[in-house]
């Protein structure tokens, strides 16, 4: 039928795309764009730029969905190595913007940390792909080193949010590799106790103060708590059905800061209400579940571990952002995935979804056509 009118490589490309995931992603992107349109007071220029980001993102998705597990696996170590080198270069020669050294100028500004969002889970997955699973304690130790090195480099920039997310993406690979539940529980206890001891004995007063502000920002409504207070007002006053699109007074009257980037969820919540929020969360759940499902359909261990980790990392982005904007998690600069304005993040995420799609087992019928 129609497929016969297209070149066979095109047909293959489309067939490798997971239509369910693409459809839900598209719906989310659409919701994101109309929310952005409202958040920037109907300034179309910004919306166009974001739309271009999505076009780039979709093209990337298309390209990366073509890459097979075994091909990508070969890139893992290179990408990881180059990433580490770039991170070191950033610390030595990077540009300083907004008080942090994150950017490297190579014709265009690049953020090597962004590369690591993919490189770290790829590297750890690659490492485990060659091991017997569930992993031995030693292998877990090695994996942890692979994670910690880039994470420390990024922390040094400093970019706490990104470094923690990258750490999480690596840890998810260890989780999917089958690390024992006892070890997980032990690690959690260890981290909790360690953090407590660190807070009590290993910190200066000003550092403790900073942590306190992070955990309870609303103690200082004029300063650190202003964002979160205004964001809760915006969401709360949205009520059940919301104030309708373009009618969120908190956002439009400038009370809500960072409203087209990190706090766009509050704009959405104010204008579309609880109902809108449930729909949005529902879309995200479908995306994450679909990602996890595709991971179970992975070509090989590397494919499964990588796709599973990328899906859960996406979930963590969402959780950290919505938790922050609704005032139950500390304020860390994490955008709402695929909705917040910002090109790099969108392209990285779309590449990740491309990878997830590409990791799926190739069906025999396509191989026969080859």
* Chain positions contacting other proteins, by CB under 8 A: 129-130, 132-134, 175-176, 178, 230, 232-240, 249-250, 253-255, 269, 273-274, 277-278, 281, 284-285, 288-289, 292-293, 295-296, 298, 300-301, 304-305, 308, 311-312, 315, 318-319, 322-323, 326-328
Q: How far out from the chain centre does Cα 45 lie?
A: 25
Q: Which is nearer to other proteins, 195 or 278 (CB)?
A: 278
Q: How far apart are CA 37 and CA 319, in angstroms?
A: 23
Sheet of 95-97, strands arranged across:
95-97, 100-106, 108-110
Q: How far out from the chain centre does Cα 344 lie?
A: 11
Q: How far apart are CA 235 and CA 191, in angstroms?
A: 33
Q: Which is nearer to other proteins, 9 or 132 (CB)?
A: 132
Q: Are strands 95-97 and 100-106 parallel, antiparallel or unpaired?
A: antiparallel
CA-closest candidate to residue 324, choices 235, 243, 252: 235
Backbone angles phi, psi at 97, to 5 degrees: -130, 140
- Give least dist CB 193 to other proteins, A: 22
Q: Which is nearer to other proteins, 112 or 358 (CB)?
A: 358
- For 108, the token pair is 């265009």
Q: Which is nearer to other proteins, 36 or 312 (CB)?
A: 312
- Which residue carries 């070509």 as its tokens? 299
- For 299, the token pair is 């070509």
Backbone angles phi, psi at 73, to 5 degrees: -55, -40
- Give least dist CB 173 to other proteins, A: 11
Confirm if 157 and 164 have CB atoms less than 8 A apart: no
Q: Which is nearer to other proteins, 181 or 201 (CB)?
A: 181
Within the chain, strands assigned E span 95-97, 100-106, 108-110
Buried b (16+ CB within 10 A) or exposed e, 306-330: bbbbbbbbbbbbbebbbebbbbebb
- Give least dist CB 29 to other proteins, A: 19
- Give least dist CB 269 to other proteins, A: 7
> What is the 8-class DSSP label of residue 216?
-
Dihedral angle of Cα 74, 75, 78, 83, to the nearest 10 degrees: -150
Q: Which is nearer to other proteins, 38 or 50 (CB)?
A: 38
Q: Which is nearer to other proteins, 21 or 104 (CB)?
A: 21
- For 72, the token pair is 């990508």
Q: Which is nearer to other proteins, 211 or 233 (CB)?
A: 233
- Give least dist CB 65 to other proteins, A: 20
Q: What are the residues facing 110 on neighbouring strands?
A: 104
Backbone angles phi, psi at 221, to 5 degrees: -70, -30
Q: Which is nearer to other proteins, 35 or 277 (CB)?
A: 277
- Give least dist CB 301 to other proteins, A: 6
Q: How far out from the chain centre does Cα 162 lie?
A: 9
Q: Which is nearer to other proteins, 17 or 316 (CB)?
A: 316
CA torsion through residues 313, 211, 84, 111, sign: positive
């Amino acid at each position: 039928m129609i497929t016969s009118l297209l070149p066979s490589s095109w047909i293959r490309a489309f067939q490798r795309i997971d239509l369910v995931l693409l459809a839900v992603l598209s719906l989310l992107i659409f919701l994101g764009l109309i929310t952005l349109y409202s958040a920037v007071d109907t300034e179309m220029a910004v919306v166009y730029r974001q739309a271009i980001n999505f076009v780039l993102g979709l093209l990337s998705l298309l390209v990366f969905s073509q890459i097979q597990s075994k091909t990508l696996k070969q890139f893992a170590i290179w990408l990881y190595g180059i990433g580490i080198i770039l991170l070191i270069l950033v610390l030595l020669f990077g540009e300083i913007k907004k008080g942090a050294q994150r950017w490297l100028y190579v014709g265009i500004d690049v953020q090597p940390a962004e590369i690591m969002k993919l490189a770290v889970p790829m590297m750890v997955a690659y490492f485990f792909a060659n091991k017997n699973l569930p992993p031995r304690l030693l292998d877990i130790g090695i994996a942890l080193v692979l994670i910690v090195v880039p994470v420390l480099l990024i922390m040094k920039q400093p970019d706490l949010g990104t470094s923690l997310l990258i750490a999480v993406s690596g840890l998810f690979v260890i989780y999917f590799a089958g690390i024992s539940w006892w070890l997980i529980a032990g690690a959690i206890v260890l981290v909790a106790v360690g953090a407590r001891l660190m807070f009590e004995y290993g910190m200066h007063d000003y550092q403790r103060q900073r942590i306190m502000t992070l955990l309870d920002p609303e103690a200082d409504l004029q300063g650190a708590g202003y964002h979160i207070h205004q964001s809760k007002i915006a969401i709360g006053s949205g009520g059940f059905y919301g104030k309708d699109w373009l009618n969120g007074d908190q956002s439009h009257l400038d009370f809500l800061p960072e409203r087209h980037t990190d706090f766009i969820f509050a704009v959405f919540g104010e204008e579309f209400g609880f109902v809108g929020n449930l729909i949005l969360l529902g879309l995200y759940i479908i995306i994450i579940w679909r990602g996890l499902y595709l991971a179970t359909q992975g070509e090989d261990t590397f494919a499964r571990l990588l796709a599973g980790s990328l899906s859960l990392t996406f979930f963590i982005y969402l959780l950290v952002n919505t938790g922050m904007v609704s005032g139950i998690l500390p304020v860390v600069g994490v955008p709402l995935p695929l909705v917040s304005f910002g090109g790099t993040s969108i392209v990285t995420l779309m590449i990740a979804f491309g990878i997830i799609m590409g990791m799926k087992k190739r069906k025999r019928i396509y191989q026969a056509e080859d």
